[in-house]
Amino acid sequence: MLERPKRSAPRVLPNSFIGEATVRRHQWLKHPMWLALLLLWGISAGHAESVRIAYPSTAVVFLPLWAASDAGFFKRQDLSVELVSIRSSPVAMTALLSGEVDMVVGGANPGIALQLQGYKDVAIFAGLINRFLFSIYAQPDIKQLVGLKGKRLGVTRFGGSNDFAGRYYLRQHGIDVTKDLTIVQIGSQDDILRALLARNLDAAVLGYPSVYVAKKNGLRALADLAQSGLRYQLTAFVAKRSFLTAKEALVLRLLKSLAQSIHFLRTRPKEGMAIARRHARINDPEILAAAYDLHVRLYPRLPLIDAEDLKLVLEEIALMNPKGKDAVPAAFIDDRIGRELAKSGFVEQLYR
């Protein structure tokens, strides 16, 4: 079980907070309503609300979370955020349902899968990157996609996003993935990269930062799926609908802090890269700079979610669960808080 952080008791203000002399001069302050409002303001001004957010890995895609924490944007929004690393999506979703965490950040699939199983109190309320962050790399003698026919293509695991992205892209480009080549399940990204470098594979669907290592070792890039125009919600924020309703102000401040974090990453790359290096543990400066530039370019100014970005996710889910085939993307979303923030002009003020 994950241990809940102890929540500090509300700060009790001394009687002198308002000041007796001031009360005597301003008789209107004696009205109970005004006294209550002032007391409420005094308590809330120094008391940060706690929220626990689970995330699965040290991938650079989660950089806005780390930057919001390290650069103080959560704190500026009166939030006390605990980032909890839970590598297994099923475990993270179980923690969400049990109330051990308030939100889960990761792929969109687990949140949608929960709803398809009947957990209607779960919704996606925000999103970061809505592109496939994969590339297809091959041995140097394979010069284009058609050269993959009759070859062995490595993926992490059958049915995973890495596998789905590769198959989908190849089908879009006229390659029959059931007949024209052999797809091999290897394991982790590190395992795939090692197999490719050892020439035990002809090609592979690689994520980041493996892509940069492949490039530095002379392997050939056949396709960059991030630049393909395919929309796929790679990173989503999931919470209970009941939490989103009960904690609207908290969620609003969280989205503001993420928008501030993304602005910080865009405008202060030196500090941003230091945060990325610390959390993603990328020591190679060239790889770090390339990964940073790619991700910051793909982050939206405001982490909204769009139903259009869930269509391919549902198509992927439908391969395992027929319910995904006829599902309506908008049914999995509760984005009202983000949409209201988008109308407020808050983000535009950041970039002035």
Percent of all residues in the chain with a pLDDT value above 70, rounded to a whole number: 87
Mean pLDDT of 245-271: 98
- pLDDT given for residue 47 in this prediction: 77
Q: What is the pLDDT of residue 340?
A: 97
pLDDT confidence of residue 58: 87
Closest CA to 103 of 302, 241, 298: 241
pLDDT at 211: 93
Decide if pLDDT at 83 tops 90: yes
Dist CA 309 CA 235 (whole Å): 11
Least confident span in 18-27, 70-79, 191-200, 213-222: 18-27
* 31 band by pLDDT with thresholds 50, 70 and 90: low
- Calpha distance 25→18 (Å, rounded): 12
Q: Are 314 and 324 in contact (CB under 8 A)?
A: yes
Rounded distance between C-alpha atoms, residue 327 and residue 310, angstroms: 10
pLDDT at 26 over 80: no
Domains 49-131+232-350 and 135-227 share a fold: yes
Residues in the chain: 352
The residue ranking higher by pLDDT, 11 or 87, is: 87
The Cα 132–Cα 224 span in angstroms is 9
The CATH class, in words, for 49-131+232-350 is: alpha beta
- State the pLDDT at residue 16: 34
pLDDT confidence of residue 188: 84
Q: How many CB atoms lie within 10 A of CB 288?
A: 20
Gap between the Cα atoms of 308 and 303, Å rounded: 15
What fold does the segment set 135-227 form as a domain? D-Maltodextrin-Binding Protein; domain 2 (3.40.190)
CA distances in angstroms from 119 to 69, 97, 111, listed in the order given: 30, 9, 9
Q: Give the least confident one: 44-48, 152-156, 337-341.
A: 44-48
- Strands 236-240 and 122-127, how do they pair? antiparallel
Q: Judge whether residue 19 has pLDDT over 80.
A: no
Band of pLDDT at residue 21, cut at 50, 70 and 90: very low
CB contact set of 201 (below 8 Å; sequence gap of 6+)? 152, 153, 154, 184, 186, 192, 195
Q: Would you say residue 325 has pLDDT above 80?
A: yes
Distance CA 331, CA 305 (A): 12
Residue 22 has pLDDT above 70, yes or no: no
pLDDT at residue 254, rounded to an integer: 98
In which band, very low, low, confident or very high, does the pLDDT at 11 lie, cut at 50, 70 and 90?
very low
Q: What is the mean pLDDT of residues 246-267?
A: 98
Select the more confidently predicted residue: 247 or 27: 247
| Per-domain boundaries in the chain | 16-45, 49-131+232-350, 135-227
Is 0.85 surpassed by the pTM of this model?
no
pLDDT tier at 142, thresholds 50, 70, 90: very high
∠ CA(323), CA(161), CA(219), 5° rounding? 155
Which of the four pLDDT bands, split at 50, 70 and 90, describes residue 161? Answer: confident
Task: Name the pLDDT band for 193 (thresholds 50, 70, 90).
Answer: very high
Q: Write down the mean pLDDT value for the chain.
A: 88
Per-residue model confidence as pLDDT tens digits over 87-116? 888 899 999 999 999 999 999 999 999 999
In b/e form, how buried is each residue of 8-22, taking b as 16+ CB within 10 angstroms? eeeeeeeeeebeeee
pLDDT digits (tens, 9 = 90+) for 288-322: 999 999 999 999 999 999 999 999 999 999 988 99
What is the arithmetic mean of pLDDT over 152-175?
A: 92
| Residue 34, pLDDT above cutoff 80 | no
Q: Could you tell me which residues come within 8 angstroms of residue 5 by beta carbon, excluding any fewer than 6 positions away?
A: 50, 52, 82
CA–CA dist 238, 124 (Å, integer): 4
